[in-house]
Chain A
């Protein structure tokens, strides 16, 4: 049997959408469990991003008697910006992992992990400095 021939019980190839053809070109469909696991990981990152968005809003709305206005606004913007970047980064990561799985290549390192760690440390440092200095 040559590479082009398919076994009799092979599933029929489905037509993918234009966006999928463009963003996920080449390779072959990975095991559906892996695709769904990748989607679950994406959703976990989205939940983290939404938690950061909610945290940013909470800081701006509830801590007016605790922090000075510039500190409060700065922290809120850092958290909202981080939530926004995580949201975009999680989609990029999903895409890179999906491409790797389609091409049977090694999975890429998660770039959003150091981003989250660095920005979380920055926000904690700002709060710590403010508390010690106050």
Chain B
């Protein structure tokens, strides 16, 4: 989460050179960080219950969303470097 916040702050450094499209990158990164922050208590609770019950379902949705956010940030970043 903190890494995403840091990356979103670094994206802002591009604002003077590339203009408003950077806000899209900032929004994707910051929204992902916010999503992780606001769901971490629930995920921690589910994980600790899973350890106690010796049964825990893999959180496949969270993994796929996080990976998708990384791919989106990379693709948008490349677009900005090549086009912007």
Contact = CB atoms under 8 A, between A and B. Distances in A.
A111 to B, nearest CB: 15
Given A53-B70, A87-B71, A58 B58 contact: no
Nearest to A55: B10
Interface residues of B, number: 35
Contacts, number: 126
Nearest to A31: B54
Interface residues of A, number: 47
B37 to A, nearest CB: 14
A127 interface: no
Given A58-B13, A80-B81, 19 more contacts: A11-B55, A19-B60, A32-B54, A32-B56, A39-B58, A42-B66, A50-B3, A56-B81, A57-B11, A57-B13, A60-B14, A61-B13, A77-B81, A81-B78, A83-B70, A84-B74, A87-B74, A91-B64, A95-B60
